[in-house]
Amino acid sequence: MSSQQHSLKPFNTFNLDAFAKNLVVATTPEMLCTAWQESQRLQQPALLIGEGSNILFLQDFQGTAIVNRIEGIVVKEGAEAWHLHVGAGENWHRLVTYTLENALPGLENMAMIPGCTGSAPIQNIGAYGVELKDVCEYVDVMHLATGKIERLTAQACEFGYRDSIFKHRYQHGYAIVAVGLILNKKWQPILSYGDLNQLAPETVTPRQVFDAVCEMRRSKLPDPAETGNAGSFFKNPVITAEQAKVIAEVWPDAPRYPQADGGVKLAAGWLIDRCDLKGYAVGGAAVHQRQALVLINKDRATSDDIVALAHEVRQRVGEKFNVWLEPEVRFIGAKGEQDAVGVIA
């Protein structure tokens, strides 16, 4: 029996048995700020959680877990675009569904990405050719020591591939409380990835794109409600053009996506699959049978099982391709976030 009091199992999609000393479910920015300031007063660590869809608890958390449940969607119409102000605690997929039901297309490629809206800018979430940065207008971030809310433009967020200023300068002592989205009224379908390229761009509707994305995700990805997982466990690696050329000569079928900066993005799932790791297990953790990029809690896995599995996957891919994968998932220790690469290296 853990000495910690509050179960974090409902707040992590890996469904791991982890506990926190204190737990606060914050429905307003003020509640969130008060809980953080109280943890500071007690000299205890504080951890901000959305839906826990991108975290791996390595140990019980020795402080206050603050769950962001700030909700609300406000829509304003402009001449050329719709402007949405969304509470950070809103479920992302429910937001995508809401926009389609209200004829506000533009988010459909990012359907079924798990997590809260407030987590979206941190990772610069993306899928099927669209990233949050493509639709983000601003992010409202609270300085927790003062309670002051600052509005950052999308440009100020320094969005990169699964990266943003919220992983760096605004990582500690700040909380995202709302996200502003801009959806162009002249909707242009993005059909460059996966089975979407089979849809006809002249006649396709936002709902058809949404349905196709949902179908692709359901066919490949396990439902966290049934099988614990945190979605894509590793980032798709971006390598140099020279490295990509070497890989293409040996594996001409390797998916390659040229980037604006001259690098080339590879598909981490393809690399893992070519190491024959689908279904590979360590303890209760396993590589998913249908999507190698997803590590699952197959049978009462511990965090140690998942870490050992991630280490093995990283080693095998590194030895075969000389490409070293980095986790997309955040690793949370007893006192806060740890360097994920350092943990699995």
Instruction: State residue 70's pLDDT score.
Output: 98
Q: What percent of the chain lies above the pLDDT cut of 90?
A: 92
- Among 162, 314, 316, 330, the active-site one is 162
**Mean pLDDT of all residues in 129-158:** 97
Instruction: State residue 194's pLDDT score.
Output: 83
How would residue 2 be classed by pLDDT, with cut points 50, 70 and 90?
very low
**Alpha carbon distances (Å) from 92 to 48, 71, 312, 325:** 17, 11, 32, 26
Instruction: State residue 1's pLDDT score.
Output: 33
Looking at every residue in the chain, the average pLDDT score rounds to: 95
How would residue 162 be classed by pLDDT, with cut points 50, 70 and 90?
confident
pTM as predicted: 0.89
Cα distance between residue 122 and residue 105, in whole Å: 23
DSSP 41-81: HTT--EEEESSSTTEEE-S-EEEEEEEE----EEEEE-SSE
Distance of CA 227 to the CA centre of its chain: 17
Q: Tens digits of per-residue pLDDT, 5-63?
A: 899 999 999 999 999 999 999 999 999 999 999 999 999 999 999 999 999 999 999 99
Residues contacting residue 304 through CB under 8 Å, at least 6 positions apart: 283
For the four alpha carbons of 287, 290, 293 and 299, in that order, the dihedral sign comes to negative
Q: Tens digits of per-residue pLDDT, 235-292?
A: 999 999 999 999 999 999 999 999 988 999 999 999 999 999 999 999 999 999 999 9
Instruction: State residue 128's pLDDT score.
Output: 93
Q: Measure the CA angle with vertex 168, ends 167 and 172; round to 5°.
A: 85
Cα distance between residue 223 and residue 134, in whole Å: 27
The pair of structure tokens assigned to 121 is: 């800018």
* pLDDT over 80 at 3, yes or no: no
Start-to-end CA span in the chain (Å) = 30
**Mean pLDDT of all residues in 146-170:** 96
- Among 51, 108, 131, 328, the active-site one is 328
- Among 232, 312, 314, 316, the active-site one is 232
* pLDDT over 90 at 220, yes or no: no
Instruction: State residue 4's pLDDT score.
Output: 54
Q: Is 328 among the catalytic positions?
A: yes
Q: Is 207 among the catalytic positions?
A: no
Q: Is 162 among the catalytic positions?
A: yes
